Amino acid sequence: MKKSRKATIRIVWAGIDKNEIKNLRKEVEKAIQDPDYVLIANYPIEWNEVEIDRDALFRMVWAEDISKSGISELKKQVEKALADPSYIIVTNYPVQWVEIPKIRH
């Protein structure tokens, strides 16, 4: 069976303390596993789903004003999500993702 060249990457972020990210990930995973589960928080949560094309020319992922260690952590999460689209990128800062398609002639 041919592997699909399209996938959806989930990016979830909230302006929370870094120590709370693990808890947010658990809540998000529960919500995905159980459609009747209601994720309730005392802070805003942003949920984005990005359609990716594995044949893209390249992609750009960025987050403003994060440290070098933050960039390394984001890169690890992006690599995990590209390898396994069921993996959810969860951060405490906004993440932007742009796909640059190949030009087809």
Residue 105 confidence (pLDDT) above 80: no
What tokens does 33 get? 């596993």
Q: In the chain, where are the structural domains located?
A: 6-100
What tokens does 57 get? 């020319």
Q: Which residue has the higher pLDDT, 103 or 61?
A: 61
Residue 1 confidence (pLDDT) above 60: no
Give pLDDT, residue 4.
65
* Residues 103, 105: Cα–Cα separation, whole Å: 6
In tens, the pLDDT along 31-83 reads 999 999 999 999 999 999 999 988 888 999 999 989 999 999 999 999 999 99
CA 4 to each of CA 67, 79, 99: distance values in angstroms, whole numbers, following the listed order: 35, 18, 16
Q: What is the chain's alpha carbon radius of gyration, rounded to the nearest angstrom?
A: 15
